[in-house]
Chain A
Amino acid sequence: DTGVSQNPRHKITKRGQNVTFRCDPISEHNRLYWYRQTLGQGPEFLTYFQNEAQLEKSRLLSDRFSAERPKGSFSTLEIQRTEQGDSAMYLCASSLVGSGKSYNEQFFGPGTRLTVL
Chain B
Amino acid sequence: ILNVEQSPQSLHVQEGDSTNFTCSFPSSNFYALHWYRWETAKSPEALFVMTLNGDEKKKGRISATLNTKEGYSYLYIKGSQPEDSATYLCAFGGGLSARQLTFGSGTQLTVLP
Chain A neighbourhood of B100, CB < 8 A: 33, 45, 48, 56, 58
Q: How far is the CA of A4 from the CA of B46 in the complex (A)?
A: 13
Is A42 engaged at the interface, CB distance under 8 Å to the other chain?
A: yes
Q: How far is the CA of A42 from the CA of B89 in the complex (A)?
A: 7
Q: How far is the CA of A48 from the CA of B31 in the complex (A)?
A: 18
| Contact A103-B32, Cβ < 8 Å, known A40-B105, A56-B100 | yes
- Say whether chain B's binding surface is mostly helix, strand, loop, or mixed: strand
Stretch in contact with the other chain, from B11-19, B59-67, B77-85, B91-99: B91-99
| Contact A41-B101, Cβ < 8 Å, known A103-B32, A105-B46, A110-B42 | no
Q: Which residue of B lies closest to A6 (CB)?
A: B43
Chain A neighbourhood of B36, CB < 8 A: 108
Give the contact-size bracket for chain A. 20 to 34
Q: Tally B residues with Cβ within 8 Å of A.
A: 26
Is A72 engaged at the interface, CB distance under 8 Å to the other chain?
A: no
- Say whether chain A's binding surface is mostly helix, strand, loop, or mixed: loop
| B98 lies within 8 A of A104 (CB) | yes
Q: How far is the CA of A110 from the CA of B43 in the complex (A)?
A: 4
Q: Which residue of A lies closest to B38 (CB)?
A: A108
Task: List which A99-117 residues lie within 8 A (CB) of chain B.
Answer: 102-111
Chain A neighbourhood of B26, CB < 8 A: none
Chain B neighbourhood of A48, CB < 8 A: 99-100
Is A3 engaged at the interface, CB distance under 8 Å to the other chain?
A: yes
| A108 lies within 8 A of B31 (CB) | no
Chain A contacts to B: CB under 8 angstroms? 3-4, 31, 33, 35, 40-45, 48, 55-56, 58, 91, 102-111
